[in-house]
Amino acid sequence: MWTPEQTRAVPHLLLEWYRLHARPMPWHGQNDPYHLLVAATMLQQTQVETVLPYLHRFLQRFPSVRHLAEAEEEEVLRHWVGLGYYSRARHLHRAAQHIVREHQGVVPCDPSLLRRLPGVGEYTAGAVASIACGVPEPALDANGYRILARLLAVEEDITRAPVRRKLWNACRQILPPDAPGDFNQALMDLGATICVARNPRCLICPLAGECAAFLQGCQNALPVLPPRRVNEKVQDVCVVIERNGRWLMVRRDEGRLWRGMWEFPRVRVQPGESLEQAVQRAAGLVQASAQEYEQVTTVRHGVMHYSVTLHALRCICQHLPLQDEDAMRWVSPQEALTLPVSSPMCRVISALLECSALTGEESKTAAG
């Protein structure tokens, strides 16, 4: 583990560097744990530059834990559209309700209480506790784990739980009790700007003299990660069914992905299944049967370990459901724009609006 020299030098050098090079963040100087909780949740899978506009908008609409707790889930999801990983939004919403119920609406500063909140793991708990409350608790994100693995020349897979535990404890050993928040943010910033995943910029790194990987010349080989999963190619079909200028949209209820969000009826094309058969299956999700269809657009996107090609087809259907139900609605294009929808579905809606604008066509009225 650390040499006695590293124990003293690493936090000292890192904090000195941070005081000169900290990236400007909207939460700097901010000690509202709620703001930190929202920011740290958004940052779990997303880069700072992407998060900033969303964070601003989200906090404007939900300025306090109570505002968030009292909102409808659909509205919370709508303010998350474009950030992806929507389970984070649902967890954050439930966490706010838990805080109102169990902690009188005050976000706790105790990391063990924070970790009991839905969706709050060690990183988020550590970030809130250290940055907002000054509690000496590590907050290691992917950047932090990478830096520590290099500083200590750890040659084990850093995604394994025992290795992560070892790095977490190593971080705790050098965490300065008088500046834990700055130290944690300094690690995040160093990982984002200097100790980057590929070709770390060791020659300008403040920790180069203390870094075992750099001194051994193995910084490009670390950290050790598991082999990358090869992306599986799949095809999805979604059907755009129109009636009187309205589209039929359904709310996803199954699985973890995009649950609670709205979309055109969508299925995955099964092995050996034709596009036409998949179209019928998608229409069948709303008890309709497709008579004719035409391509609107094709959207390619990645999700988890899948490379998805989504075919959006405009369908004329028979046997359409007439009434709205809890998980099914006829919506105008304007309403569709206000629903929480995934990014790929958003691209389908944009293509539809573009088609309509280009052709000036009237919406097709399908047989009921």
Which residues contact ligand SF4 (rule: CB under 6 A)?
A: 147, 150-151, 194-195, 200-202, 205, 207-208, 211, 213-214, 219
Is the Cβ of residue 41 or residue 219 nearer to ligand SF4 in the bound state?
219
Least separation in angstroms between CB 185 and ligand SF4? 16
Q: What is the largest CA-CA distance in the chain?
A: 79
**8 A C-beta contact, residue 145 and residue 223:** yes
H/E stretch holding 289: strand 289-303
Distances (CA, A) of 315 to 39, 273, 288: 41, 18, 10
DSSP 78-145: HTTTTT--THHHHHHHHHHHHHHHHHTT-----HHHHTTSTT--HHHHHHIIIIIH--------HHHH
Is the Cβ of residue 80 or residue 145 nearer to ligand SF4 in the bound state?
145
**8 A C-beta contact, residue 139 and residue 123:** yes
Is the Cβ of residue 90 or residue 146 nearer to ligand SF4 in the bound state?
146
Least separation in angstroms between CB 21 and ligand SF4? 13
Torsion 320-323-327-329 (CA) sign: positive
Rounded Cα distance, 307 and 322, in Å: 35
Least separation in angstroms between CB 14 and ligand SF4? 9
**8 A C-beta contact, residue 78 and residue 340:** yes
Is the Cβ of residue 217 or residue 255 nearer to ligand SF4 in the bound state?
217
Least separation in angstroms between CB 297 and ligand SF4? 43
Is the Cβ of residue 43 or residue 154 nearer to ligand SF4 in the bound state?
154
Least separation in angstroms between CB 150 and ligand SF4? 4
Backbone φ and ψ for 343, nearest 5 degrees, come out as -60, -45
Q: Which of 305, 293, 309, 306 is nearest to 344 (CA)?
A: 309
Least separation in angstroms between CB 146 and ligand SF4? 8
Is the Cβ of residue 75 or residue 156 nearer to ligand SF4 in the bound state?
156
